[in-house]
Structure 1
Amino acid sequence: MNGINRRRFIALSGLSGLGAWMGMASLLAAETDASSLSPRNLLKSPWFGRTPFALGVASGEPTPDGVVLWTRLATEPLEFGGGMPTQPIVVGWELADDEGFRRVIRRGTALAHPELGHSVHVELDGLAPGRPYWYRFNVAGYDTGTARTCTLPARGAQLQRVRFAVAGCQHYEEGYYTAWRKIAEEPLDFVFHYGDYIYEGATSPTRIRKMNGRPFTNLRNHVGPQLYTLDDYRRRYAQYKTDPDLQAAHAALPWFVTFDDHEVDNNWAGGDDQDGTPGPLFLLRRAQAFQAYYENMPLRRTAFPRDGRMQIYRRARYGDLLDLHLLDTRQYRSKQADMGNRAEVESPGRSITGAAQEKWLFDGLSDAAPRWHVIAHQVSLGNYAREKGGATVTSDDQWSGYLSSRRRLLDHIRQVGFKNVVTVCGDAHRHYASDLVQDHADSGVISSEFLATSISSGSDGLGVDAQAENTLAHSPYLKVTTDKRGYVLCDVDRDVWTGDLKILDRVMVPDGRLESFARFAIEHGNPGLQRA
């Protein structure tokens, strides 16, 4: 435990040791029917003066025969504890194969534990592949209303098309979540959320902020201080989840989620934060952030935090059409390098994925079965550069700061030779569409990347501004970039992958106008972006 006092670690993080984890895993596995579970402190007849479903519902982690259904009880979302009694509560759920709930095919109960912020994760299996389902929760006379989810197609099923959205970076203070409403209205199969679901900072009413070089007033303010404790993180998630547009997107279709930095702290890397906090202390904070993340996402019990860690990299297969490789580029990465020290930036001893995850990824990309491979991750693989202070600079917090990792991945993609790999990511608060080449000569185009702009972080933005022009001038394989909010819509068939860079004209006013900034296509077997 790197010198951490284990008993203190467990107490402060709210997590269990291995033995307790195994007991919790068994409990979670049983909770699609909690009728046989009766804790001594169970609240047997709950009563609430208002709906306990203020945070909405969600589904995620679909497989060909199952999906995770999520909700979290809170009558007072912005209060510590959410207004809930510190007792377990039985929550009912139903699943139907029609929107009107005329044919309820599954129903059960689950325990909402105070130890997990009264969150509920119902992990279903035994469902039919490649079809929609509708679900709802109920407790104490309240229900959630109807939400929609769907299972993945059968493994190996020959498919013609998949459509999904890539989105993230949703700073609550900096704009409306109009993009989520637009995503909810799209006919999509799933959402990939690349991270920065919440932001950890406190609102400072006396500090004059600037956005795009101009004075900026928050659209809405964070409640509470900088996030450090489990209660802090829980309340911040609750505040974000009260947004109706975000709730609509969760209720419309299943999500695959992963975290980036702001779910814990800006630019954290492995066991280090950006402030120089002693590692054991930062790991206490990280453990509490991980628990809150699990509590608030529709994740499987395989992701349940254990000893301050989460297993968040995983793979999903969409028939024979697409393999989705979801990465974790935070938990195992080396600390950011001094970008002026070329030897450090290029050191083979530094990694953004860690050795075990890298091998797992390389093994998956070597599979010839899927028509397409997509690497779904957090930060840009594209080596975007710009001029600053007379020097050409790249980011220390992206793959450009981990050149050995970047070179190994691109070399592997090229050597496998399928010519069918596309990467999707975010974090930069700008759209980027770029081909990917090695940083040495004559590699040719190996893959392509769609980097999705933010949902709201960065506020309205300036479009193709001076920074965009600067980056385009110093990044020869970058096709377009813009400082506007939105998402990327990926429309994939057997022969062509089309990425549509959607943007909103405004996010500081509701119902901004959505349009396509640029569309690019990639032909199967022929890497490289073409205007579509």
Structure 2
Amino acid sequence: MSPSWEDESAAVIAQGLRRRGFLTAAGLAATAALVAGRPERAHAAVSGSRAMPYPFTLGIASGDPLSTAVVLWTRLAPSPFEVDGGMATDSFPVQWVVAEDASMATVVRRGTALAHAEYAHSVHVDVGGLRPDREYWYQFRCGPHLSGVGRTRTAPAPGAHLDHLDLVVASCQSLGAGWYHAWKDAASEPADLVYFAGDYIYEYATDATSVRWPYTPSLPADFTRQTDTLGRFRQQYGLYKSDPDLQEAHRVSPWMVTWDDHEVFNDYDAEDPSLYQLRANAYRAFWEHMPLRSPQRPSGYTARMYRQLDYGDLARFHVIDARQYKTGQLPGSTVGDTAERRDPSRQILGTAQEAWLLDSLGSGATTWDVMANTVLFSRLDSDDTAGERFSTGQWDAYQAAQQRVIDTVAAKDAGGFVVLTGDIHRNYHLNVLKDFEDPDSAVVGVEFAGTSISSGRDGGETDSGLEVRTRANPHLVSADLRRGYLRCRISHDVWTTQVRAIDRISTLDYRAWTSHTLVTEPRRPGLQVS
């Protein structure tokens, strides 16, 4: 007699399903190298036919929680570093269940999805009929193999009172640049929601310059070239998502994701037709590997990534896409205060998305309006003399669009306006002024720009460039160059952000701590360091 799902789940949990290895011989050897010095996950296969090697090598995930629904994700990939993940061209049935308990005893929803080769055998299940503001656990099965048990949480009912929300904000995880210690730290205290602000992968080749090279498994020759084809993008996601700390961060919390530039190409020009095929490949692979709904599935080289997520009466998240629709960047890496910078026709969001955002801000009757952003929104002058220099890749180079958002926030007096940002690989925490030309202008909101999970070097407290920007921008409240992420506790009275720091990503040994804490109040916007 075949064991029941509950019996199988109990057997899996009894194995201590927190770290899971690959079942193929090659996979076992590769993973042992990749996670040297770390505990391995126990495999989740059960007794019976083993025609397919263990397929859940890339973990599981949930995302975009609504009050009665959440997206569940996995991908079948017995050999995740191969172009096809080691799968045949057939479709495979994947069973899924959602339960009210981690032991999977009280199942409330179940079903079967087909993993199609067309989408790299990924599975996106939009599970409805759930209760608002509840923890749930979920699991997948393919043949005799069980995935790990994931934890997720639904949002409150529309308008319902929510006392608080625990949020993690992270971005920029260059696997070759260092270890994902920040994800290990973040997963140790599961959040209600994780916002990932872009640069999930980096398009670069993986070679001997990687910090991880002594521990990285032997990869197919494809990895020695930059990502370009759909198959190559799938390989890159397979490599990144094989990291056990990233898998754990996905397993324990639902995610809300958007993209930046490195999911395609550094600072790519959205107006360049020669990049349309590259974008189509990149967008397709991104959707295949993220817990996103079907409206976010790309059509060719376009995809609607902007959307809203509401958390009762507490917060409305406006998730934006600051890459796909923007007017081409001005020449060079920086620009002075030129007429081009202030040109009202220059778009960073595009006309349709900007109209959606301006209409959406202040419309949710929530305490907080949160712009889930990607590149730095607030003014950041990089010249502390009489001159001014602004990055051509940030909102400063689209000053009129920047001001239209600020004017809308000020006019609607919507309450707590918070911008969450990635991209910049350092912590910048700023007051958003009604008029950045006037340092004494009213504060209309705040921006938390978080540093990278991994990039460049280990980071530090400051450097000469940071000191210049601190002098040139009195609304810049705090800044540093460390690696890490942000942990936020959002309530109706106060928004508290802990700046979690990692001392080094270049070695397996590290220290994680809260370097400082910032707070702001919804009706008295302005950052205070505590």
For 2:85, the equivalent position in structure 1 comes to: 82
Q: Which runs of 5+ in 2 are unaligned?
A: 1-47
For 2:254, the equivalent position in structure 1 comes to: 254
What is the SS of the residue equivalent to 1:366? coil
The answer on 1:304 being equivalent to 2:302 is no
Kept in 2: contact 1:224–1:232 (CA 8 A): no
Q: Which runs of 5+ in 1 are unaligned?
A: 1-44, 210-215, 273-278
Question: How do 1:379-418 and structure 2 match up within 5 A?
Answer: 379-387=375-383, 392-418=388-414
Cα deviation digits, residues 257-284 of structure 1 (max 9, x gap): 0000000000124233xxxxxx1x3101
Question: How do 1:31-430 and structure 2 match up within 5 A?
Answer: 48=51, 50-203=53-206, 205=208, 223-272=223-272, 279=273, 281-338=274-331, 339-340=335-336, 342-367=338-363, 369-387=365-383, 392-430=388-426
The Cα of 1:393 is off from its aligned counterpart by: 2.1
Distance 1:64 1:409, change over 3 A: same
Kept in 1: contact 2:60–2:148 (CA 8 A): no
Kept in 1: contact 2:56–2:147 (CA 8 A): yes
The Cα of 1:397 is off from its aligned counterpart by: 0.5
For 2:489, the equivalent position in structure 1 comes to: 491
What is the SS of the residue equivalent to 2:85? helix
Supply the distance in 2 between the matched residues of 1:418 and 1:96 (Cα, whole angstroms). 38
Distance 1:413 1:512, change over 3 A: same
Supply the distance in 2 between the matched residues of 1:143 and 1:468 (Cα, whole angstroms). 49
Q: Which amino acid aligns with 1:128?
A: R
Supply the distance in 1 between the matched residues of 2:497 and 2:506 (Cα, whole angstroms). 26
Kept in 1: contact 2:370–2:417 (CA 8 A): yes
Cα deviation digits, residues 472-515 of structure 1 (max 9, x gap): 12221111111111111111111111111111111112252111
Supply the distance in 1 between the matched residues of 2:195 and 2:271 (Cα, whole angstroms). 26
Distance 1:236 1:48, change over 3 A: farther
The Cα of 1:527 is off from its aligned counterpart by: 1.2
Supply the distance in 2 between the matched residues of 1:57 and 1:239 (Cα, whole angstroms). 15
Kept in 2: contact 1:172–1:220 (CA 8 A): no
The answer on 1:520 being equivalent to 2:518 is yes
Supply the distance in 2 between the matched residues of 1:204 and 1:508 (Cα, whole angstroms). 16
The Cα of 1:320 is off from its aligned counterpart by: 0.4
Q: Which amino acid aligns with 2:185?
A: K
Supply the distance in 2 between the matched residues of 1:446 and 1:219 (Cα, whole angstroms). 49
What RMSD in Å do the two structures reach over aligned CA positions? 2.0
The Cα of 1:167 is off from its aligned counterpart by: 0.2
Supply the distance in 1 between the matched residues of 2:179 and 2:269 (Cα, whole angstroms). 29
The Cα of 1:49 is off from its aligned counterpart by: 5.3
Kept in 2: contact 1:52–1:142 (CA 8 A): yes
For 1:22, the equivalent position in structure 2 comes to: none
Distance 1:420 1:254, change over 3 A: same
The Cα of 1:203 is off from its aligned counterpart by: 3.5
Supply the distance in 2 between the matched residues of 1:382 and 1:70 (Cα, whole angstroms). 34
Specify which of 502, 505, 510 is matched with residue 500 of structure 2. Answer: 502
For 1:5, the equivalent position in structure 2 comes to: none
Supply the distance in 2 between the matched residues of 1:137 and 1:391 (Cα, whole angstroms). 58
Supply the distance in 1 between the matched residues of 2:445 and 2:398 (Cα, whole angstroms). 18
What is the SS of the residue equivalent to 2:247? helix
Using the size of structure 2 for normalisation, the TM-score is: 0.86
Kept in 2: contact 1:173–1:219 (CA 8 A): no
Supply the distance in 1 between the matched residues of 2:442 and 2:375 (Cα, whole angstroms). 22
Kept in 2: contact 1:346–1:402 (CA 8 A): yes
Supply the distance in 2 between the matched residues of 1:453 and 1:96 (Cα, whole angstroms). 35
More deviation, 318-327/514-523 = 514-523
The Cα of 1:228 is off from its aligned counterpart by: 0.9
Supply the distance in 1 between the matched residues of 2:463 and 2:418 (Cα, whole angstroms). 27
What is the SS of the residue equivalent to 1:457? coil
What is the SS of the residue equivalent to 2:280? helix
The Cα of 1:440 is off from its aligned counterpart by: 2.2
For 1:439, the equivalent position in structure 2 comes to: 436
More deviation, 460-469/119-128 = 460-469
The Cα of 1:47 is off from its aligned counterpart by: 5.0
Supply the distance in 2 between the matched residues of 1:128 and 1:421 (Cα, whole angstroms). 29
What is the SS of the residue equivalent to 1:80? coil
Kept in 2: contact 1:418–1:525 (CA 8 A): no
Using the size of structure 1 for normalisation, the TM-score is: 0.85
More deviation, 314-323/221-230 = 221-230
Cα deviation digits, residues 330-349 of structure 1 (max 9, x gap): 11111011325711111111
